Amino acid sequence: MTNAGPPDAWYQRMMPLYGVTFGQNIFVAVGDGGTVQFSRDGITWGAPKIIAAFKNLRGVAYGAGLFVAVGEDGVILTSPNGWEWTSRVSPVSDLLWGITYGNGLFVAVGSMGTVVTSPNGVDWTKQTSGVPQFLYGVVYGNGKFVAVGNSGRIITSPNGIDWVPQQVTTYELRGIAYGNNTFMAVGLGGTILTSDTGTSWNQTSIQAQYFFYGITYGNGIFIAAGENVSSQEGIVTHYLGNGYVVQSSSSWFPLNGISFGNSVFLALGERGMVTRNPGVQPHGWESISNGTDRYLNAVSPFKNQLVAAGDRVIMDSRNGVTWRPHYGTTVNLTVNLWSVASGGDACVLVGDGGTIFTSTDNVWWANPVSGTTDFLLAVTYGGNGKFVALGLSDKVFTSPDGTIWKDHPLGALYWVNGVNYGNNTFVAVGLWGGVLTSPDGEHWTFTPSGVPQTLNSVAFGNGLFVAVGDAGVILTSVDGTTWTPAANFPSSNNLYSVAFAGDSFFAVGAQGTIIFSEDGNHWSLHHSWITKDLHGAAWAGSYGIAVGADGTFLQSGINAKLFLPLLLRN
């Protein structure tokens, strides 16, 4: 275990991504919160970096040895390598959405018909487009720039300065690409336009529920990405001889952008969605990263991976940066999962109705019989190799392997929210400050903690139990029996989870609350910009993980620069 001090620097993962480009043999993607990410192959991604003071970024392009990203409030940034970024003086404050490079010129477009140009990515000039509509996409081909936008507006220019408007359709156009001597523009309502000149267009409309937000050309074909607004799943489409073929992209959420490079198509979108196609044939899409909008209640490391669980969902990750829902579960996941623990050779999840899931490989999850329909809210591993699960029940459930479970009477009905093991003792905490202790996980003794607040979680480290709960209460104990309030409570928000971080503690809670302590007694408040409730926390050996409402993932202690040797190797 790595001793890294309190995890006081946190970064949100699985942020919405909008723009992606390929250059210098890497993909560079940008999105909400000033996020930039990069990958050589679309599979291994460096940790996101914030480059624009939390301004949403919408477009990125590569040209003349330079990456250029654009976004909110006219923000423009440049990078020679995708990692080190410099903010440039922008001549506009409008939202910039699309950008391209061609004929020695960068051209960016955006709201209110905005067009800005630069010969070097550093010095920018505002141009007059002649249209008031929002412009979303721009491309260079056949000796001209072509931009598209709201109300079917298309503008063309031979030099990026002098623009001629036209209108071919009333549908909003979101993306445009050039390849094989052809322009192709796509948009809402299944709209697809093609032209070999950029001035005379042919329109095709496929099913109206298909909205396309981006398009690219590679490997001899155009591929557009977007969503089926009826199901909100990500879709891609391509042309095969006699018509357009629309297919699922293996994404739960809309796709906002797409690019081609290194023989790979890469599409990305909402909730950090990344889907990849090796470019051999247009049907081979695989999900690399796919977020969720469901409430996540718990997270735990397991066999050099991470497992998160919540409202009808199990998520996994190899690095805390990219996550995806688990498809290996052998039964329908229809209940809320509240707690996760790993130990021995197994990982165990527990939830409503006595639900238990267990896995030895994080690929297939079995659903063993628990013998109860009670709510199971907490699980841990400890003692002589034993899983212990409790909840809203008059029983406790134990298992040596996560598969075969046995119940033991508690003598009364208890509401337990959290459980942990340390100092040869199991400690469980719950409603109205109640504490249960056990030497073996089977025989339990009730002990009042001395506070009326509900306790939600308990951790053990450095010879100390730390329990947290409602109204920001924090308690400490050496033996699990005698409890003392911490020296200070830095927040009055409910605290839902606490974890030991190698040589310190951290806890998370309502409205994005994150607090940390080196000794479990004196606590400091981390000033997080996250406002979502955080319900689960864990330490993964060198970084912290927190999960919560609306599929929120936070990670601490990771520097994206650590990924550069892997991403940029020859």
Non-local (6+) Cβ contacts of 119 within 8 A are 104, 105, 106
CA distance 363 to 213: 33
**Domain assignment present for 139:** no
CA 487 remoteness from chain centre = 35
DSSP 8-state symbol, 470: G
Q: What is the pLDDT along the chain (570 residues), one digit of tens a residue?
A: 344 444 557 878 888 899 999 999 999 999 998 999 989 888 888 777 888 877 999 999 999 999 999 999 999 999 999 999 999 999 999 999 999 999 999 999 999 999 999 999 999 999 999 999 999 999 999 999 999 999 999 999 999 999 999 999 999 999 999 999 999 999 999 999 999 999 999 999 888 999 999 999 998 899 999 999 988 778 788 775 567 878 776 667 889 999 999 999 999 988 767 777 876 565 678 777 777 888 999 999 999 999 999 999 999 998 888 888 875 555 568 899 999 999 999 999 999 999 999 999 988 899 999 999 999 999 999 988 999 999 999 999 999 999 999 999 999 999 999 999 999 999 999 999 999 999 999 999 999 999 999 999 999 999 999 999 999 999 999 999 999 999 999 999 999 999 999 999 999 999 999 999 999 999 999 877 788 999 999 999 889 999 999 999 998 875 433 333 333 332
CA distance 508 to 489: 13
566, containing H or E segment: helix 564-567
The SS3 call for residue 72 is: helix
Q: Do the beta carbons of residue 214 and residue 174 sit within 8 Å?
A: yes
**Strand arrangement of the beta sheet that strand 324-325 belongs to:** 296-302, 305-310, 313-317, 324-325
Number of continuous H segments (helices) and E segments (strands) in the chain: 1, 53
Q: Per 3-state DSSP, what percentage of the chain is helix, strand, and coil (rounded to 5)? A: 5, 55, 40
Write the CATH number for 548.
Answer: 2.130.10.10
**Domain assignment present for 429:** yes
> Which pLDDT belongs to residue 518?
94
**Domain assignment present for 431:** yes
The count of structural domains within the chain is: 1
**Domain assignment present for 192:** no
**Domain assignment present for 79:** no
How is residue 87 written in tokens?
């903010």
Q: Do the beta carbons of residue 516 and residue 554 sit within 8 Å?
A: no
Buried b (16+ CB within 10 A) or exposed e, 163-191: beeeebbebbbbbbbbbeebbbbbbbbbb
CA distance 536 to 312: 16
Tell me the DSSP string of 267-306.
EEEGGG-EEEE-SSSTT--EEEE----S-EEEEEEETTEE
**Domain assignment present for 551:** yes
Reference 104, options 166, 169, 158; nearest CA is: 158
Q: How far is CA 340 from CA 1, 6, 197, in A?
A: 20, 23, 59
Summarised one tens digit per residue, pLDDT across range 491-537 is: 999 999 999 999 999 999 999 999 999 999 999 998 777 889 999 99
As beta bridge partners, residue 536 has 547
**Domain assignment present for 156:** no
For the chain, the straight-line distance linking the first and the last C-alpha, in angstroms and rounded, comes to: 32
> Which pLDDT belongs to residue 332?
64
- SS3 string of 143-172? CEEEEEEHHHEEEEECCCCCCEEEECCCCC
> Which pLDDT belongs to residue 567?
33
**Could you tell me the residue range of the domain that residue 512 belongs to?**
296-556
**Domain assignment present for 475:** yes
> Which pLDDT belongs to residue 1?
39
- SS3 string of 198-252? CCCCEEEECCCCEEEEEEEEECCEEEEEEEECCCCEEEEEEECCCCEEEEECCCC
Which long-range CB contacts under 8 A does 186-190 form with residues at least 24 apart?
186/212, 186/213, 186/214, 186/215, 186/224, 186/226, 187/148, 187/152, 187/211, 187/212, 188/212
- SS3 string of 11-44? EEECCCEEEEEEECCEEEEEEHHHEEEEECCCCC
DSSP 8-state symbol, 454: P
How is residue 127 written in tokens?
């141009």
As beta bridge partners, residue 107 has 100, 117
Which long-range CB contacts under 8 A does 358-362 form with residues at least 24 apart?
358/401, 358/402, 358/403, 359/328, 361/303, 362/302, 362/303, 362/305, 362/307, 362/316
